[in-house]
Structure 1
């Protein structure tokens, strides 16, 4: 699944290059090699087209004047405990919603999913929950908080020693492979993918709702 550009910038890529040397990053030091490696903590993000939901009234209509409730997932924050053999990651997010008809108090339940994805495409765990939005009489806006979590085996999220050595080995001018980026080698890319986990959250959309998000 494609990711939002803002989330890519926040670290969805398994091997994103960093501008300074910090533990858990992949860092190129003065062009002579990569000196630190990626974190075992899952990156957290929202898959494209799943961060918004629109409810219509009457159902089945997709015109602007039939919009009943619109909602967006925002303010995603995460925490990770990687101190043990099991890596625990948790995320919180806010759902901000708006309704067209403000007459009367109303509660709206919206389903959302949280998935643990390995290698960018393999879903290894999924949970579906709901957030409840409570609109007061005369109120057009409401918000609610949601949570998600993931448990990842540290060994599975860690690169094998031989792959780590090939990535971090210094390369100097004159070496036969000095101009070869190790991250472009197929087996290294495959190992990075296997060790890459993501915790993804989004609205649990129907086929029609997803199609609407894609085409609007």
Structure 2
């Protein structure tokens, strides 16, 4: 699944920066990974789910477009307590309509979902955001938001895997040139501990097809 992210790609997951905390991976010498890994989820908008188009009738043509809206300016604040990592997400919705004579409110459904390891949905909540157009106005803007909660234990790399990632490798070592993330067990463990918090419009099948093929 392709994302429009406000963070780095998921499988560069062992070298993520930001929201760092004591105990995260952080190397300053030797051969191997030299970076900080964040326990905070990667936040982004899935491809095709950041826009929504409403039509005046059954025909999905340019002449029949009623309202279009886009999710933008996605922002996230990550905090943690003893048991959980909590990410507060906010975003703007920019909308445009074709018929501008009357004041109008348009309600749009959106979701915030948590994904583990790139594929497993662990939580999803559908909400709605109202966009209010003033009489005569073609454009309107509003703000939405949501919360993603991840178990701190689930987002923590096991100690034995951390040791393989952080152990300093020097020239002459038999595994000096081996990237630990190429070891299947290491890669899988890091992937399991990597989460994404995704926001997008809750589209119908027809709306999704329209976005994917236009």
Aligned equivalents of 1:53 and 1:19: distance in 2?
32
How far apart are 1:31 and its partner, in Å? Answer: 5.7
TM-score (norm 1): 0.90
Asked if 2 retains the 8 angstrom alpha-carbon contact of 1:36 and 1:168, the reply is no
Aligned equivalents of 1:123 and 1:138: distance in 2?
42
Aligned with 2:74 (options 69, 73, 76): 76
Q: Which moved more, 1:103-112 or 1:74-83?
A: 74-83
Asked if 1 retains the 8 angstrom alpha-carbon contact of 2:100 and 2:135, the reply is yes
Structure 1 residues without counterparts, runs of 5 or longer: none
TM-score (norm 2): 0.91
Q: Deviations over 1:56-77 (max 9, x none)?
A: 111x211111111000000111
How far apart are 1:113 and its partner, in Å? Answer: 0.7
Q: Deviations over 1:90-128 (max 9, x none)?
A: 100110000011110110000001101111110011100
Q: Does 1:206 align with 2:204?
A: yes
How many pairs align? 211
Aligned with 2:94 (options 93, 96, 99): 96
Superposed, which structure 2 residues align to 1:15-30 within 5 Å? 15=13, 17=15, 29=28
How far apart are 1:151 and its partner, in Å? Answer: 1.4
Aligned equivalents of 1:86 and 1:18: distance in 2?
19
Aligned equivalents of 1:109 and 1:56: distance in 2?
14
2:3 maps to 3
Q: Which moved more, 1:78-87 or 1:142-151?
A: 78-87
2:38 maps to 39
Asked if 2 retains the 8 angstrom alpha-carbon contact of 1:34 and 1:169, the reply is no
Aligned equivalents of 1:34 and 1:83: distance in 2?
27
Superposed, which structure 2 residues align to 1:107-122 within 5 Å? 107-122=105-120
| Distance verdict in 2 for CA 1:42–1:67, change over 3 Å | same
Aligned equivalents of 1:18 and 1:31: distance in 2?
19
Q: Does 1:135 align with 2:133?
A: yes
| Distance verdict in 2 for CA 1:192–1:16, change over 3 Å | closer
Secondary structure of the corresponding residue to residue 8 of structure 2 = helix
Question: How big is the alpha-carbon RMSD for the aligned residues of Structure 1 and Structure 2?
Answer: 2.1
Asked if 2 retains the 8 angstrom alpha-carbon contact of 1:12 and 1:198, the reply is no
Asked if 2 retains the 8 angstrom alpha-carbon contact of 1:51 and 1:73, the reply is yes
Asked if 1 retains the 8 angstrom alpha-carbon contact of 2:17 and 2:36, the reply is no
